[in-house]
Structure formats: structure tokens, C-alpha cells
Structure 1
Amino acid sequence: MSEPDVLFEESGTRPWILLFGPVLAGVGIALESLAPGGASLTLWLGVGLLVLLYTLLLVRTRRRYLRVRLTASALEQGTTSLPMSQVTSVRPVDDEHHGLRVLGDGPVVPRRLAPVVLRLSDGTRAVAWARDGAGLRRALEDLLRARAAS
């Protein structure tokens, strides 16, 4: 079975944030080695490990609940999936998305993410979201245009 073509995708977070703990430990060791008495290696390695574990949990959670993936058959937001057969149009950009059903795992559009309002086949509206809201909007509009042309 082949993987469907991905038209738009966001992972939820960038993996480079995992470097924060090891870099913090390295900088701490380097700066403290300049002080009299030398560096507390075990202390800084412990701090680096704790920060790494925390950011690992953060990255894993964000990748699970804030990922966006659009294929010809479905729009996935977090752990939920909306069949594209239910989407009839993309609404114009406005602030009138409050009170609408938000796709994904939360009751509101996640902070710092752009809303994209969709009209569904049952006549209701729902709010999709992405870091690159304009990119998701373009991908959805292109998909709906291609579907209408065929």
C-alpha cells in the first residue's frame, strides 16, 4: 500500500530545540571552569540531562498534538482526522471563528497558530489551524479546485 501524497505538512515543533539542554550544560561547564575551583561536572551534566528530558517530553507532545497533515483524502490536525470529502470550501480570512468547532484536540486554536475556517458538507463551519495558515489555505484551495475540475 503506497503512502498518499502529502500536500501540506507541519510537524508541530522543530527538533533542534532538543539541543538546548546539552548546550546549556556545555556553556555552564565552560563558564564555571573559568572560576576558582573548576567546574562541577556532575551538577552541569545533571542539569543538562533534566533540561533534555523536559524538552524531549515537550517536543514529543507538540509533535503529537500540533501536527498538521493534508492529503487528498484527509486533513489531520493533532490526533484527529477530517475526511476531505466533508470539506466543501474555505472561508475568507476573518476573525469570526470564535464559537466554531475547532479541529484537533483542543477547544480553541492553539496559540501562535493561524486559523483557517472551513465550510463542511453538512452546512456547518469548522476551524483548522497551522503555523503557516496561508500555506494551509492555499493547499486546501488548490485541492478543492482540483476536486471540482475532475
Structure 2
Amino acid sequence: MLFAESGSRPWVLVFGPVLAAAGIGLESLAPGGASYTLWLGVGLLVFLYTLVLVRTRRRFLRVELTPSRLVQGTTSLPMSHVTSLRPPDEEHHGVRVLGDGPVVPRRLSPVVLRLTDGTRAVAWARDGAGLRRALEDLLRERAYR
């Protein structure tokens, strides 16, 4: 694996149980004691909500680059189709975006690729500069073969 981003970090799932424990702990200091079932229910609901978010982000926002494939969400592009990278400041509006959406996802950096058929496509990653470096290294290595 030359570059990888999971889309979401699993530690976010800890928020629900931590919230429940903090709520139980603080409420136990109050007169009348803690409402265990209420806080456990809140913790469970927050956990389930974040579980759905983490699973969705891991499916649709993952990025993997291997010598043979570039994976963007659920889309896979063979690296044999990529000929070069466009300059970092090149406009990418109106260019086909790799992945599952019509635009580059929010807070992710675009990397414009030139494909073998002469068209352009936009790859993206949280660490756009890191993805660009990995792609440049791979293309440079492929050119020397």
C-alpha cells in the first residue's frame, strides 16, 4: 500500500460510552442519585449514531493507492489508466470526480489526473499533498521501467 486513508477513525465510537459514563458520574453526585437507564440509553443512541457515521465514511471516503489501483470510496481506477498529474493549482470544476459523488467531498483536497484516453479525473484525499507525492513517485517509478 503506497497511500491509505480510512475515511474515519474508529476512536470516535468511544464518545457515546464516555458520555454515558460522565453523565452517570456527574449525576451520582447530585441528590437522588444517577438515572442509569437514561444515561445508558443516551450512550447507546450516540454510539449507534456514530457507528453509522463511521461505517458510511469508511465505505465512501476511503482512499487506497497500490501500484495497480487507486481506490476512491467504492470506485476503483486501474493505475494503468493514469498517465500524469495536472498542476496542483489547475481548476477542477466540471471534471469527472472519482468516487461516489458529483463533487470533491468537503474538507478533502483534489488531485487532478490525466488519463490514457486524454480526459481528466479528480482524485481526492484528506492529505492531498501526500496522495500527490505517492502518485508522483508511482508514475516516476513506472516511467523508469
TM-score, structure 1 normalization? 0.95
The correspondence for 1:47, drawn from 42, 48, 56, is: 42
- How far did 1:95 drift? 5.2
The corresponding residue for 2:26 is: 31
Identity %: 82
The correspondence for 2:95, drawn from 92, 100, 104, is: 100
Q: Confirm whether residue 147 of structure 1 aligns to residue 112 of structure 2.
A: no
Work out the CA distance in 1 between the residues paired with 2:139 and 2:99.
21
The alpha-carbon distance between structure 1 residues 119 and 95, as it changes in their structure 2 partners (threshold 3 A), is closer
| Unaligned stretches of 5+ residues in structure 1 | 1-5
Would the aligned equivalents of 2:90 and 2:112 in 1 still touch at CA under 8 Å?
no
Q: Confirm whether residue 110 of structure 1 aligns to residue 97 of structure 2.
A: no
Q: Confirm whether residue 8 of structure 1 aligns to residue 10 of structure 2.
A: no
Letter in 1 for 2:21: G
Letter in 2 for 1:118: L
Runs of 4+ aligned structure 1 residues displaced above 3 Å come to none
* Structure 1 vs Structure 2 CA RMSD: 0.7
Work out the CA distance in 1 between the residues paired with 2:57 and 2:82.
26
Work out the CA distance in 2 between the residues paired with 1:16 and 1:95.
36
Would the aligned equivalents of 2:16 and 2:46 in 1 still touch at CA under 8 Å?
yes
Work out the CA distance in 1 between the residues paired with 2:29 and 2:107.
40
Letter in 1 for 2:8: T
Q: Confirm whether residue 88 of structure 1 aligns to residue 83 of structure 2.
A: yes
Number of equivalences? 145
1:54-91 deviation digits (Å, cap 9, x = unpaired) = 10111000000000000111100000100101100011
Work out the CA distance in 2 between the residues paired with 1:116 and 1:28.
44
Work out the CA distance in 1 between the residues paired with 2:25 and 2:102.
45
The alpha-carbon distance between structure 1 residues 140 and 26, as it changes in their structure 2 partners (threshold 3 A), is same
Work out the CA distance in 1 between the residues paired with 2:133 and 2:104.
19
SS in 2 for 1:88: strand
The correspondence for 2:118, drawn from 113, 119, 123, is: 123
| Unaligned stretches of 5+ residues in structure 2 | none
